A and B are shown apart, each in its own frame.
Chain A
Amino acid sequence: MTPFEVKDCALLLRMSGLPPALNLRELLDRISVCGENVLYHHFCETTLRPTFDDPDYRNDFAVWAKLYLGDRVLAERLGIVDPYAFGTMGELRAAVLDIIDDRLGELTMVPWVRPGDEFHFKEATTVIFDTGERIRSPRALAPAILGMTNGSIYYHFLEALRRPPVGKDDFSAWLLEAGDDFAPCIHALEAIDFHFHSLPHLRKELARVLAAGEEMR
């Protein structure tokens, strides 16, 4: 089988150019016109940013609804949205707009935040580079993962989900080449609920399930 090429990536954040949202109506309006990269960033790239909010919600809109708008109902509804369950960013955008619009319909007043708590729309460029490291056997995958940077974990396990083959992480795609022998490992990787893991935790979890899958073979 071909060696696994370990890539790494780093995120470069920038302002989207959209004005910040001071209330829920403005959030709706901005999301309806923002670029797909903005949506992608606030849903999918949050793990690469410093935050302790990962145990609650993975996307920035849910975190903002909870912490600053004080709308826990909206936070719960947005927080459960899985960006990887949508085929396109357009579908994700439509789903998010529906949730916010429904919530606006339920409220008697548009909720506002105090100055300083606005939602700032950001986007990022993911700079990807080859580390030069190669993994030559499936058995070496788990120990190699333990030595990877957060950027590598993000690129191969999360970012990969939106690359062809869509919905498949790079580790599983590579293990498929090794045939049915590694099916338990692939199933174990698929079973990881990554929404509740920070990248350092995800690294440990990936190594753990791969080692356990090896034992089951």
Chain B
Amino acid sequence: MTAPLAAYEAIVGSSAVAQLRRLGEKLAGLRVVHVNATRERGGVAEILECMVPLMRDVGIDATWEVVHGDPRFFDISRAIRNGLQGRRVDLSKKDWRIYHDVSEKNAGRMRALLEEADFVIIHDPQPAGLLKYCPNRKGRWLWRAHIDISRSYRPVWKVLRTLVEKYDASIFSMPEFAQPLPHPQFLVPPSIDPLSEKNRELDPAELSGTRAEYGCDPERPLLVQVSRFDRSKDPIGVIEAYRLVRKVTPVQLVLAGSWAADDPEGKAVLEELLEAAQRDPDIHVVLLPSGAHKTINALQRLADIVLQKSTREGFGLTVTEALWKGKPVIGGDVGGIRLQVVNHHTGFLVNTPEGAAHRIRYLLHHRERIREMGNEAKEFVRDNFLPARHLREYLTLFLAIRSGKEERTLQV
């Protein structure tokens, strides 16, 4: 259940909410359609679950649609997504034909809604093919890339680019994630919902329940990394860092994450982690089922320090979640982690297990810094990565595009 804008007032302040309502008044009745791949799981669905009701609350006629397809289509679109993120994938002409056929069928199902909308926001590559099959578009179509496509596998990008370049504009989370395109490229970072199950405040009983469930000792510091079991998240490096710290300080480590069934590398990583955990009772490997939001929330809140030692990362919303819970984050010096983790303010950026171990030891030695940095981290997220800021940027985007002006300032 998503809360309307008023529920955020206690978190972001009344002036920020009033600002959104003012902007919303200028756009009253605007028809906006978001389209993505699924309502069920993943960061995009979490954002839309929060954003669509908020848009409606400020007066926009916002709707959320998802593309329908058979398992083969979703395998292909997952491969496209992996290719855009740099993985070498083989997509045949037949695969692309299936992608287009499903796009055409979906366009047929949604055509009236999409062609009448003032703004259509297509999230990620799965629904990107819809535009081609909506020739009588009245509004503006925006392609919202949530992933880092800067080092995409070229054969995939070359095909997708032919679809994306027809859009009126694209939106990226960071400049580093973008590709050259022949239309305006806006920059809008994502956000987390502080009222969701993954981020809401938890009471002490809920926290102690999770602690007991995973056998963590309340007397010793806890390090936590929540991420997919994937080499790019470097969980093995996290264990190395833990072991270096363990030589001088008794700490515990929780590695919590999920594993994609179609990822053989992930299976190997998980096996290595489980083996490491078998040999050390203070390493807890937690295989999270889909929708384990409360467990993630509790583990992040129980942590003394949160790690996100990725060697490659998108925006890194798990970092945002940890910062919001007042935890300093020791993160890899990559992707969106660099935007969020600022040395000595919200945590530390590191490049090696040794670097991570050094910063963990520093923080455990200066316990007051954990609290200070955690407080600063929370305020940083409050100002920059909550839905209020995200909604404001969508509203300004609609106003700016609708005006058709290119001046530096726009009076509305």
Please report A residues at the B interface, Cβ cutoff 8 Å: 8-15, 19-20, 37, 40, 50-53, 116, 118, 120, 122-132, 147-151, 159, 200
Q: What is the size, in residues, of chain B's interface with A at 8 Å between Cβ atoms? A: 41
The docked-state distance in angstroms from the alpha carbon of A52 to that of B373 is: 12
**Contact between A13 and B186 (Cβ–Cβ < 8 Å)?**
yes
**Complex Cα–Cα for A120 and B342 (A):** 19
Within 8 Å of chain A (Cβ to Cβ): is B30? no
- The contact string, 1 if C-beta is below 8 Å from chain A, for chain B 140-184, is 000000000000000000000000000000001001101010001
**Chain B residues within 8 Å of A, Cβ to Cβ:** 15-16, 18-19, 22-23, 26, 172, 175-176, 178, 180, 184-189, 334, 339, 342, 345-346, 380, 383-385, 392-393, 395-397, 399-400, 406-412
Nearest-neighbour CB distance to chain A for B3, whole angstroms, equals 21
Q: How far is the CA of A116 from the CA of B188 in the complex (A)?
A: 19
Least CB distance from B20 to A in Å reads 10
Q: Are B187 and A122 in contact (CB under 8 A)?
A: yes
B396–A147 touching, CB < 8 Å: no
CA distance A15 to B406 in the complex (A): 13
Partner of A128, one of B188, B383, B411: B411
Q: Which residues of B contact A149 (CB under 8 A)?
A: 15-16, 19
- Write the chain B residue with the least CB distance to A12: B396
Contact A132 B22 (CB under 8 A): yes
Known: A10-B393, A12-B396, A12-B397. A127 touches B410 (CB 8 A): yes
Contact of A127 among B334, B345, B346, B400 (CB under 8 A): B400
Q: Could you tell me if A122 and B175 are in contact, using CB atoms closer than 8 angstroms?
A: yes
B232, chain A: closest CB distance, angstroms? 14
A20 CB → nearest B CB, Å: 8
Give complex CA distance A169, B56 in Å.
36
Q: Is the CB of B184 within 8 A of A10?
A: no
Q: Considering the chains assembled together, what is the distance between the CA atoms of A13 and B383 in angstroms?
A: 17
Q: Which residues of A contact B393 (CB under 8 A)?
A: 10, 12
Q: Are A50 and B339 in contact (CB under 8 A)?
A: yes
Which residues of A are found within 8 Å of B410, using beta-carbon distances? 125-128
* Residue contacts A-B, CB under 8 angstroms, 29 given: A8-B19, A9-B409, A10-B19, A11-B396, A12-B186, A12-B397, A13-B186, A13-B187, A14-B184, A14-B185, A15-B178, A15-B185, A51-B342, A52-B342, A52-B380, A120-B176, A123-B408, A124-B408, A125-B396, A125-B410, A126-B408, A126-B410, A127-B396, A128-B410, A129-B23, A131-B18, A147-B15, A149-B19, A200-B383
B19→A40 contact, CB < 8 A: no
Instruction: Tell which of A40, A52, A118 has the most Cβ of chain B within 10 Å.
Output: A52
Q: What separation, in Å, do the CA atoms of A15 and B383 have in the docked complex?
A: 22
Residue of A9, A127, A149 with highest tally of chain B CB at under 10 A: A127
B412 contacts A129, CB within 8 Å?
A: yes
The docked-state distance in angstroms from the alpha carbon of A11 to that of B396 is: 7
A9 to B395, CA, bound (A): 12
Expressed in whole angstroms, the minimum distance between the Cβ of B23 and any Cβ of chain A is: 7
Q: How far is the CA of A204 from the CA of B26 in the complex (A)?
A: 30
> Closest 4 A-B residue pairs measured CB to CB?
A120-B175, A50-B384, A13-B187, A52-B342
Residues from chain B with a CB closer than 8 A to the CB of A40 are 408
Chain A residues with CB below 8 A from B19, complex form:
8, 10, 131, 149, 151
